Amino acid sequence: MRCPFCGFDESRVMDTSHDSRGEIRRRRECESCHQRFSTYERALLSIPLIIKQDGSREEFDRDKLKRGIQIACAKRPVPADEIERLVGEVESDLEGLGKLEVPSRVIGDKVINRLKQIDLIAYIRYASVYLKLGDLRAIRDEIDRLLEG
């Protein structure tokens, strides 16, 4: 592993631990400059291609999904680990499908259903884009459905 401080190619693993998302954290020490740093490893399983609404296909982008959820949760009392957990669940579900391609709607449905349980304001924010709630009337109708249920 290349040292981020001096660029030397050799480092020594000092400690290894596992986190709740299935990632492996390794604490390393550079054999040249003796600086310590952490690396994270995650198994890359077969994640299907995502079929966009226009029919184009793209690889699943964990960071893109996380950014969208973070925007919806901005200035809300949603812990960062809850967002990480949601992204991890979606990614794990996609891996478990065993398909080569999946419509983007599958991802959106999983996120929106989970956000409804986590924070209703974040849900409305995400829904306004995902469900294409194009005007105030549509947003109000969705809020009224939430308040009834």
For the chain, the domains span 11-41, 49-148
CA angle centred on 24, ends 23 and 25, rounded to 5°: 115
Q: Per-residue pLDDT tens for 33-89?
A: 999 999 988 766 678 899 998 999 999 999 999 999 999 999 999 999 999 999 999
Determine if the pTM surpasses 0.85.
no
